[in-house]
A and B are shown apart, each in its own frame.
Chain A
Amino acid sequence: MAHPVDWFFWTVYPYLMLGSFFFGTIIRFAFYPGTITAKSSELLEKKRLMIGSIHFHIGIILVFFGHVMGVLIPKSWTDALGISNELYHMFALIGGGVGGLLALVGIFILTWRRFSDIRVHLTSSMSDLIVDVALLVIIILGMWASFVAGPRNPDFNYRTSLAIWARQLFYFRPNYLLMVGVPLTYKIHVVCGLAIFGFFPYTRLVHALALPWQYIYRRYLVYRRRPTI
């Protein structure tokens, strides 16, 4: 084991965090379903929430799907379609940049609001504060990686290293050596991202997993009959 720290971060740590994510989610939904809410503070402050929340949510959804595409689609597939590396990165940077910027503006306003609005701040739990700061940090890191660290390391292509490693996680054979040469900003971004997955189910973030699909086809009025013994 040539790099014990690298080995830990790119082989053990991801599974600790993802394990925490899956087991935490199962436990939260199975045993504490009543605690799952979005923890809205709209009642207490509305204006900054409007700008911040809409920007952040739209941005983060774009960013999420951007990550899914960037990591899950192998380079060989886009090569087969005849998409050149330059074209791919142009699309990735424009799409990711728009999503990332929306998310960054949104989370910046939301964090500012959470710390400066007296009502919102005093009714926040420690977990709410940590979540806001963690999201702000990781989005800044992500933007930094894409627009500063990326151009500074022209030889580095995450699709031939980081993405392969990430896909390997899904079939439980990650080769940590793929991550050794990755620029530091990317590394920190990945570690922080995994940490967010790790605490996801124990915080307000869990609301993202509780989507009410049944409302789409449900009839409007709901009657509940008492159960009979």
Chain B
Amino acid sequence: MRIKAQISMVLNLDKCIGCHTCSVTCKNTWTNRPGAEYMWFNNVETKPGVGYPRGWEDEDHYHGGWHLNDKGHLELVAGNKLNKIALGKIFYNPDMPELNDYYEPWTYDYQTLFSPAKKHQPVARAKSQITGQTMDLKWGPNWDDDLAGSTETMQEDPNIKKIETEIKTNFENAFMMYLPRLCEHCLNAPCVSSCPSGAMYKRDEDGIVLVDQEKCRGWRFCMTGCPYKKVYFNWKTNKAEKCTFCYPRIEEGLPTVCSETCVGRIRYIGVILYDADRVKEAAEEPDDTKLYERQLDLFLDPNDPEVVAEAQKAGIADDMIEAAQNSPIYKMAVEQKIAFPLHPEYRTMPMVWYVPPLSPIMNYFEGKDSLHNPEMIFPAIDEMRIPVDYLASLLTGGNQEVIKAALYKLAMMRLYMRAKTAGKDFDTEKLARVNLTADSATDLYRLLAIAKYEDRFVIPTSHKEQVVPAHEAQGTVGYEGCKGCSLASAHGSMFAEAKAGKTSEEIYAESFYGGIWRD
């Protein structure tokens, strides 16, 4: 057994309202700079829909992730090491998405709006952020938001192609859900495995996957290796970039920007202890529908004294172990089994999990007296608007039973809490049918519905002070090497100016504009 700690996330899709606040705050923090305009480390997709980049789930096209070769061993879908050289893929990467698969980033010509008065109202036209030319907009990062234009594109959703339900033709019975996506910080990361330069790595202490900007040589195999298409190529620095899980914040015990700013409080961050020695074996499970359970098996019980002893022996810090014991992720994924990985069939062992959405069926069912007869939710869930097989195709590699069990549990918890709040009787034996008790149902309700900050985010501070001199490291985190990319360099220049004898008033006047940071 080789225990490692992994910082991971669960998103409660039941509460996601698709407001894109996570995407916008993430973008403002990380990708608001030249070369990175088209990157969304975090984006929110409307499902069913083709997503960003277009059709990213179609691995027959993009060849991302892992599959099993003839001998039953893991192999990158994009090809093994020999294949990449022999077929000239090192000179041209055939699986790489083009900019148009994401979208050509644009801004608006705002200056014309402020020009002198004219006869006609001025219009801010779209200008490409790459060429500066006027653009005719045909596709964007979230073109099919809220099913907009979906009659044109929805059928391209690979999950729709897989399922049997009749949603294909019944547009008036359409359903939709939101899927916020970020890097999965996989246990069996194909991007790390694809990187010839060894620039990509998992951090030993918390499993965050990062790109070493100094070592990246721009091979782009990480982009194609990632089946979630969450590694991007900066056209200006010619290097790969990806979601950093806001590691500078995580190290301080703070949640990621996307989680912190989520207005629906749908995101949870916590620690999972897992057995790194068994990852490969689990990922080589031949049956797609069992991969979710194989991944669950990797997670170790942080309250088991043997696991704790082994973790301490492996050098995992005590507060990391304590965080694992209080982890909301462990509660939802392992104890309650209401959270699921995104596309486990890619065999990546992803670590950003999702609680499947429930609301549409409860509304559908409202009129059928479910409060008096909670048994009625079982058939209802089987007939809900977001088909179980669609969710299973997204979250469990096709295993519908586990999705149903989670939805029953969530629905039953709701009925129980409604009865309790309304002062009605509720036969708690019904709870036992979904493996809940009065106490655990209340606990789950607190975690999911009340979702207090301290319940959602259980993040240990890193012990960086033991490895780097904290004072010297100040202001050194972030993207360097491109002007205006990181505030760190701006802060650095501020200190340099102060040293050169400028007064704080002068520095303030140069660096701030109306109280807004000027970069």
Residues of A within 8 A of B (CB): 33-34, 36-46, 49-50, 53-54, 56-58, 118-119, 122-123, 207, 210, 212, 214-216, 218, 220-229
Q: Known interface pairs A40-B238, A58-B91. Does A119 touch B198 (Cβ–Cβ under 8 Å)?
A: no
Closest 10 CB pairs of A and B: A37-B218, A220-B193, A212-B196, A34-B214, A57-B91, A215-B196, A225-B204, A224-B201, A37-B238, A222-B201
Asked if B196 and A42 sit within 8 Å, CB to CB, the answer is no
Question: Do most interface residues of chain A lie in helix, strand or loop, or is the interface mixed?
Answer: loop
Asked if A221 and B192 sit within 8 Å, CB to CB, the answer is yes
A44 cross-chain contacts in B, Cβ below 8 A: 98-99, 130, 235
A40 cross-chain contacts in B, Cβ below 8 A: 218, 220, 233, 238
Q: Known interface pairs A36-B217, A37-B217, A43-B98. Does A221 touch B130 (Cβ–Cβ under 8 Å)?
A: no
Tell me the bound Cα distance from A187 to B88 in angstroms: 33
Question: Do most interface residues of chain B lie in helix, strand or loop, or is the interface mixed?
Answer: loop
Tell me the bound Cα distance from A195 to B293 in angstroms: 61
**B516 is an interface residue with CB less than 8 A from chain A:** no
Q: Which of B202, B239, B466, B469 contacts A223 (CB 8 A)?
A: B202
Q: Known interface pairs A43-B99, A122-B130, A224-B204. Does A215 touch B218 (Cβ–Cβ under 8 Å)?
A: no
**B197 is an interface residue with CB less than 8 A from chain A:** yes
Q: How many residues of B contact A (CB 8 A)?
A: 49
Q: Which of B4, B130, B203, B219 contacts A123 (CB 8 A)?
A: B130
A119 cross-chain contacts in B, Cβ below 8 A: 99, 130-131
The closest CB in chain A to the CB of B469 belongs to: A229
Tell me the bound Cα distance from A44 to B235 in angstroms: 8
Tell me the bound Cα distance from A226 to B195 in angstroms: 20
Q: Which of B91, B193, B198, B214 contacts A212 (CB 8 A)?
A: B198
Q: Known interface pairs A37-B238, A123-B130. Does A223 touch B216 (Cβ–Cβ under 8 Å)?
A: no
Asked if A122 and B219 sit within 8 Å, CB to CB, the answer is no
**B381 is an interface residue with CB less than 8 A from chain A:** no
B233 cross-chain contacts in A, Cβ below 8 A: 40, 43
Chain A min CB distance to B403 (Å): 29
Asked if B468 and A42 sit within 8 Å, CB to CB, the answer is no
Q: Known interface pairs A118-B131, A221-B193, A224-B203. Does A215 touch B198 (Cβ–Cβ under 8 Å)?
A: yes
B235 cross-chain contacts in A, Cβ below 8 A: 41, 43-44, 123
For the A-B complex with A43-B98, A119-B131, A215-B81 known, give 18 more contacts whose Cβ atoms are closer than 8 Å. Answer: A34-B214, A37-B218, A38-B217, A40-B218, A40-B238, A42-B92, A44-B130, A44-B235, A49-B92, A50-B94, A53-B91, A207-B218, A210-B217, A215-B198, A221-B202, A222-B198, A224-B203, A228-B467
Q: Interface readout for B215-233 with A: 1 if CB under 8 Å, 0 if not? A: 1111110000000000001
Q: Known interface pairs A42-B92, A46-B96, A212-B197. Does A221 touch B188 (Cβ–Cβ under 8 Å)?
A: yes
The closest CB in chain B to the CB of A117 belongs to: B131
Tell me the bound Cα distance from A123 to B38 in angstroms: 15
Asked if B92 and A53 sit within 8 Å, CB to CB, the answer is yes
**B168 is an interface residue with CB less than 8 A from chain A:** no
Asked if B467 and A229 sit within 8 Å, CB to CB, the answer is yes
Tell me the bound Cα distance from A78 to B415 in angstroms: 90
Tell me the bound Cα distance from A225 to B81 in angstroms: 25
Asked if B98 and A46 sit within 8 Å, CB to CB, the answer is yes
**B373 is an interface residue with CB less than 8 A from chain A:** no
A43 cross-chain contacts in B, Cβ below 8 A: 96-99, 233, 235
Tell me the bound Cα distance from A136 to B101 in angstroms: 31
**B275 is an interface residue with CB less than 8 A from chain A:** no
**B322 is an interface residue with CB less than 8 A from chain A:** no
B153 cross-chain contacts in A, Cβ below 8 A: none
Chain B min CB distance to A31 (Å): 12
A-B contact list, 24 entries, CB within 8 Å:
A33-B215, A34-B215, A38-B218, A38-B219, A39-B238, A40-B238, A42-B96, A57-B91, A58-B88, A119-B99, A119-B130, A123-B235, A210-B197, A215-B198, A216-B81, A221-B193, A221-B202, A222-B195, A223-B4, A223-B201, A224-B202, A226-B205, A228-B466, A229-B466
Q: Interface readout for B228-254 with A: 1 if CB under 8 Å, 0 if not? A: 000001011111000000000000000
A220 cross-chain contacts in B, Cβ below 8 A: 192-193
A50 cross-chain contacts in B, Cβ below 8 A: 92, 94
Q: Which of B131, B204, B213, B468 has the most A CB atoms < 10 Å from its CB? A: B131
**B133 is an interface residue with CB less than 8 A from chain A:** yes
**B400 is an interface residue with CB less than 8 A from chain A:** no
**B413 is an interface residue with CB less than 8 A from chain A:** no
Asked if A118 and B200 sit within 8 Å, CB to CB, the answer is no
Tell me the bound Cα distance from A36 to B237 in angstroms: 10
Tell me the bound Cα distance from A218 to B215 in angstroms: 16
